[in-house]
Chain A
Amino acid sequence: MGAKVNTAAAGTANFVDDRTSIGGFVKFFARKLFPDHWSFMLGEIALYAFIVLLLSGVFLTAFFVPSMETVEYEGAFETMHGVEMTKAFESTLHTSFEVPGGLLIRQIHHWSALLFLAAIMTHMCRVFFTGAFRKPRELNWLVGFTLMVLGLAAGFTGYSLPDDVLSGNGLRIIDGVVKSIPIIGSYTSYWLFGGEFPGTALIPRLFTAHILLVPGLILALIAVHLFLVFLHKHTQYPGGGKTDRNVVGLPLFPVYTAKAGGFFFVVFGVIALVAALFTINPVWNYGPYDPSPVSAGTQPDWYILFVDGALRLMPGWIFGIPMEWEIFGYTLSMNILTPALIMPGLFFGFIALYPWIEKWATGDRGEKHVLDRPRNVPVRTGIGVATITFYVILVLEGSNDIVANLFHLSLNDLTIFFQWAIFILPPIMFWVTRRICMGLQRKDRELVLHGHETGTIVRHENGEYIEVHSPLSEQEVWLRVQHEDIAPLEIAPEYNEHGVRRKGYRWDRFKQALSRFYYEDRISPVTKAEFDEAQHHHDHGHAEADIQAADAKDADKRLTEEWDKVEDEASK
C-alpha cells in the first residue's frame, strides 16, 4: 500500500514538474524557516478570519437578494407579517429563519468580520512596537495599512446590506458627512445614492463593492503582503545567535504546515463556537429601514466607533464660536468635516507614513531583521501608546451613551470630559510610557551590572548588611546589551568653507530636531568595559560576602552544637 502510494506520488510529482519546473519552487519553500513567537500569529488570525469570511460569504450570496424592490413580508417570522420592506431585508429574514444553518453562517460571517479587523489592528500594534516596519519592510507596512483601510470598507459595506433600521441610520450619517464636503458634497451624495437619500440604487451598489471590488483588492494585496514576507524572511526577537544576517526558526514543512495550518482550524472553530452561542446584529428585532424611528444606544460595529465618537465629540459651538461657517453665502460645516474627514485623514496619514518619520530621525541604518524590545525605543513606544489612547478615547466616546448608562454618569459630563481628554491624555500617556521604558532600561543596566537579587542577606563584621547578587547567564546578558545605542543625527553646517549656503539645510535641520526628540534623552546599553569593571568590583564583593556567609554558617553550626551539648547534659 505504502509503496503504491509512493509510486503514485512520485509519478504525479514527475508529471507536474516536467511541465512547470515546480521542483525548484518546492525546494525553496518547503524548508523555509520561521521564527517562533506567539505575537507572530496575530497576522495569521487576520488571514484566517478573512478565509472564513470568504467561505461564509459564498454561502450567504446564495440566499441574499441585493434589491431595494419592496415586498410585503409573508415569511416564517410572524412578528413582521405584513410589514413593507425591501427584498434585501426580506431575504435576510429568509436566510435567518427558513434556511437551516443560515443564521449560523450569517453570525459566523459577522463575528469573523469583527475578528478580522481586531486581528489586523493588534497585528499592526505588534509590528509598530517591535519596529518590524523598519528597512526593508516599509513598503509592506504600507500594504498592510491599505489592507486595514480596505477591511474597514469591507466591514461597512457589508454591515449596510441587510437594509435594517440600524444600518440605514448609519448610511444616513454617511450621507450627512458626504454632503458636508465643500463644493461637490451634494453631488457626491447623489452619485452614491443614485439621487435623493435613500433611493433605490444603494444596496445593489454596496453589494458589488462588498462581494467583488473590496474583497478582490484585499485578496490581491494579501498576495503582495505574503510575497514580501517570504522575500524579506520573517523578523525575529533578539537573543543569542539571532542576528540581522540570519533567521532562526523551524521549517515551513512540516512544523509550520501543522502549526499554522492547524491554527486556521482553531480560528474557524472558535468563530463557529461564538457564532453558535452568541447572537449578533439581530436585524429582525430592529425592523426594516424607515427614516423615522431610531432607538437609544445605537452603535455601529466596533471598528467604526472611532469616527462616530469623533462626530459625537466635536461640538457645534466652541466657547460661543459656531463651527459651521458661512463664506460668501456658501456653507462650510467644520463640525462635520473635522471629525469625519480631516481627523481620520490625519490619523491614517500619520500611521501610513510613520516608518518614514522614524527614518528621518534615525537615518538609514541598513536592514533590520532583529526586532526591538519596546523599552529600547522609548519615544516610539510612547507615540504608540499615545496614539492608542487617542483612539480609545474616540471609541469610548462612540459609545458614550452606553458608558454613561453603565456607570451612572451624566452623558454631557462624559462628553465634556472626553473633549478635554482627547488633547490632554495622549501627551500625558506619551510622557508616562517614555519614562516607564527608560525605567525598564535602567533596570536592565542594573541587572547586567549587578546581577539578580538572591534574597540572601549577609551581615558584615562592621555591622553592614548586604544582599548577595548572582550574575546573569550569557544569554540573559546578551538580550540586554545587543541593541544599538542611537545618538541624535549630526548634520553638516549651513555654510561651507566658502561661505555658500548649503542646499537642503532646512530639511536637515528638521531631521535633526526630530532626531533629538527621539534620541537626545536616552539610556545607553551597558558596554563591555562597564561590565568588566562591575565584574571586577563584584569579584571582591562576592569573595568577601562568600567568606562571611561561610563564617556565619560555621558560627551557626558551632552554636547549635553547643546548645545540643547543653541540652544533652541537662537531660542526663
Chain B
Amino acid sequence: MSTPEHPTEPEVKNGFTDPGLADHRPRRADVEPKADKRAERQVAALFTVSIIGTVIALWAYFTKNDMEPGNVADIQSTNMWIGLGIALAMLGIGFGAIHWAKTLMRDHEMVEERHALRSSDEAREGAIQNLKDGVEDSGLATPDESGTGVKRRSVLKGSLITAMAIAPLAVLVPQIGNMGADWNVGKFRHTMWAPGVRLTRDPDGTPIKAADVTIGSVFHVIPDGLNDLDHHHKMDQKAKAVVLLVRLDPKDLKIREGREDWSFDGIVAYSKICTHVGCPVALYEQQTHHLLCPCHQSTFDVSDGAKVVFGPAKRPLPQLPIAVDDDGYIVAQNDFDEPVGPSYWERLKGDAGTATVEEETH
C-alpha cells in the first residue's frame, strides 16, 4: 500500500519534472535521546493534568452541591468549577495525544496510489446487462414484445405509478390537516377591541383616564378583560391587540381624512404590531413623534397617521378609534378597520369567519 519510492514515472507539468517529495527533516526527538525522553515526560504530564481536571469537576459537583436552593451566586460558581474541571480534563487528553503524535510518532510521510473512481468498462456493461435482465424478468418491457403484452404492461405500469403517487396522501393529508387546527385564517382580522372596551395598562390591566395622559407621554395598552382570559387565549389575543397610546400637542397632529373623530384632544392610539413582520413597535421618540421597531427599524410618524418614514415596512400602523366614556376613561369606538400586523395574501379580501371568531373568543 505505502511505497516511499515512486513506482510510476514522475509528473511533467509545463515542461518541468516533479522533483519528488522534499527531504525529510528529522525532529529533535528523532536524533536526541534526551529530547525524546523529555517529550515523553511532557505527554505524561499533560495526561496527568487531565486526571486533575476530572477530580476538580467531581469535587465541584459533590462539595458545592449542598448549597442553599435559590442561591444564584452559588450555583454559578458550581457551574464554573465543573466547567473548568471538564475543560482541563479534555484539554489534557487532547494536547497530550497531539503532542505525542507530533513529537514521538512517525512524521515521515508515506505515499499511497489512487485509483480512478470510474468503474471498469466490464463492470459498467455488467451492471447495465443486470438491470436489463431484471427489467425483462419483471415483465415490464421486453425487446421483442407481442401486441397484447404491451397493453397489459402499460396498464400495470400506469396503475403502479398512480398508486405510488397517491399513496402518501393517505398519511400526509390527515397529518397536515390536523396540524393547522381549524384553518380559520379569518381570525387574523379581528382583535378583542369592540365598542366601549376600555384601554388598560400593560401588563396590570388598570384603565386609563384621559386626564392621566399628559402631552408627550406614552402608554403600552391592552384591552380591558384580556387578563381574565386563560394564558393560551391571552397570548393569542395579546399578540394582535396590543396598542400604543400617545398624546401630542393637538397642533402637531395631522389628522387623516375620515378619522377626524378617532382621536381625543391629541390622544391617538395605534396598533403596536409592526406592519412589516409583526414585531412590537415599542420605542417612542418623544421629540420627533417617531415610533421605531427595534427588530428591523421600521419608523412610523405618529403625528402623521403613523405613516412609514424609514425602514422595511410599507403600510402605516392601523389606528384604533378611541373616545372617552362618562367616567373619563379612554375606550375604543370599535375594532381596527383593517387586519393588524404583517401583510398576507388575502389581507384585503372579505370578512370570512367572523361569526366563528366571535364564538371562540368568548
Co-complex (A, B): yes
- Interface residue ranges, A against B (CB under 8 Å): 31-33, 36, 68, 70, 75-78, 84, 96-98, 100-104, 107-108, 136, 169, 172-173, 175-177, 179-187, 189-192, 194-201, 205, 231-233, 239-251, 254-256, 258-259, 261-270, 272-273, 275-277, 289-298, 308, 311-317, 322-324, 326, 329-333, 335-336, 339-340, 367, 369, 400-401, 411-412, 415, 474-475, 477-478, 481-485, 525-529, 531
Q: Complex Cα distance A246/B279, Å? A: 57
Q: Complex Cα distance A44/B272, Å? A: 47
B232 A68 Cβ-Cβ under 8 A? yes
**Which chain A residues border B97 with CB–CB below 8 Å?**
258-259, 261-262, 265
B109 A248 Cβ-Cβ under 8 A? yes
Quick one: given A251-B110, A316-B308, are A179 and B276 in contact (CB under 8 Å)? no
User: Which residues 97-125 of B sit at the A interface, judged by CB distance below 8 A?
Assistant: 97-98, 100-102, 105-107, 109-114, 116-117
Task: Select the residue from B80, B91, B182, B283 with max chain A CB neighbours within 10 A.
Answer: B91
**Interface check B192, CB cutoff 8 A:** no
**Which chain B residues border A104 with CB–CB below 8 Å?**
79-80, 82-83, 86
Stretch in contact with the other chain, from B33-41, B67-75, B318-326:
B67-75
Q: How many B residues, CB 8 Å from partner?
A: 108
Residue interface bits B2-33, CB-to-A below 8 A is 1, else 0: 10001010010111101111100000000000
Point out the residue from B22, B181, B345 that lies within 8 Å of A186, measured CB to CB.
B345
**Which chain B residues border A246 with CB–CB below 8 Å?**
111-114
- Interface residue ranges, B against A (CB under 8 Å): 1-2, 6, 8, 11, 13-16, 18-22, 61, 64-65, 69-72, 75-76, 78-84, 86-98, 100-102, 105-107, 109-114, 116-117, 176, 179-183, 185, 187-188, 202-203, 220, 222, 230-232, 235-236, 238-239, 242, 272-273, 276-280, 282-283, 294-298, 308, 310-315, 341-349
Point out the residue from B111, B308, B344 that lies within 8 Å of A185, measured CB to CB.
B344
A172 B279 Cβ-Cβ under 8 A? yes
Quick one: given A179-B342, A316-B313, A326-B348, are A245 and B91 in contact (CB under 8 Å)? no
**Which chain A residues border B343 with CB–CB below 8 Å?**
179-180, 324, 331, 333, 336
A291 B111 Cβ-Cβ under 8 A? no
B277 A194 Cβ-Cβ under 8 A? no
Task: Give min CB distance, B279 to chain A, whole Å.
Answer: 6
B296 A412 Cβ-Cβ under 8 A? no
B279 A294 Cβ-Cβ under 8 A? yes
**Which chain B residues border A475 with CB–CB below 8 Å?**
19, 22
**Which chain A residues border B76 with CB–CB below 8 Å?**
103
Quick one: given A185-B345, A262-B94, A314-B312, are A233 and B84 in contact (CB under 8 Å)? no
**Which chain A residues border B61 with CB–CB below 8 Å?**
100-101
Some 22 contacts from A to B, beta carbons below 8 A apart, are A68-B232, A70-B232, A98-B69, A101-B79, A169-B295, A180-B343, A196-B187, A239-B21, A241-B19, A249-B109, A250-B110, A258-B101, A262-B101, A272-B86, A272-B90, A273-B87, A276-B82, A294-B280, A294-B295, A313-B312, A329-B348, A336-B277
B298 A258 Cβ-Cβ under 8 A? no
Task: Give min CB distance, A270 to chain B, whole Å.
Answer: 7
Task: Give min CB distance, B208 to chain A, whole Å.
Answer: 15
Q: Complex Cα distance A259/B103, Å? A: 11
B341 A176 Cβ-Cβ under 8 A? yes
**Least CB separation from B242: chain A residue:** A292
Point out the residue from B13, B222, B312 that lies within 8 Å of A292, measured CB to CB.
B222
Point out the residue from B105, B235, B313, B346 that lies within 8 Å of A254, measured CB to CB.
B105
B239 A291 Cβ-Cβ under 8 A? yes
**Which chain B residues border A336 with CB–CB below 8 Å?**
276-277, 312, 342-343
**Least CB separation from B294: chain A residue:** A296
**Which chain A residues border B83 with CB–CB below 8 Å?**
104, 107-108, 272-273, 275-277
Task: Give min CB distance, A16 to chain B, whole Å.
Answer: 23
**Which chain B residues border A527 with CB–CB below 8 Å?**
14-15
Task: Give min CB distance, A58 to chain B, whole Å.
Answer: 15
Point out the residue from B21, B342, B348 that lies within 8 Å of A330, measured CB to CB.
B348
